Amino acid sequence: MNKINKLFAERGDRKLLSLYFCAGCPEADITGDVILTLQRRGIDMIEVGIPFSDPLADGPVIQSAGTVALKNGMTLDKLFGQLEAVKDEVTIPLVLMGYLNVIMHHGIEQFFSRCVECGVSGCIIPDLPFKDYLEVVKPLADRYDIRVIMMITPETSEERIRFIDEHTDGFIYMVSSAATTGAQQSFDDAKVAYFERINAMNLHNPRMIGFGISNRQTLDSAQRNAAGAIIGSKFVTLLSETRDADKAMDRLYDSLSR
Active site residues per annotation: 47, 58
State the CB neighbour count (10 A cutoff) for residue 202. 7
By C-alpha distance, which of 40, 100, 46, 56 is closest to 76? 100
Element (H, E) at 94: strand 94-97
d(CA 246, CA 159): 43
Cis upstream peptide for 26 (omega within 30°): yes
Instruction: Kindly give the interhelix angle for 108-117 and 76-86, rounded to the nearest 10 degrees.
Output: 20
Element (H, E) at 231: strand 228-231
CA distances from 250 to 8, 211, 223, 242 (A): 26, 21, 20, 10
DSSP state, 257? T
Tell me, rounded to whole angstroms, the distance of Cα 257 from its chain centroid: 22
CB 101 within 8 A of CB 126: no
d(CA 160, CA 155): 10
Burial level of 157, CB count in 10 A (0-12/13-18/19+)?
Answer: exposed
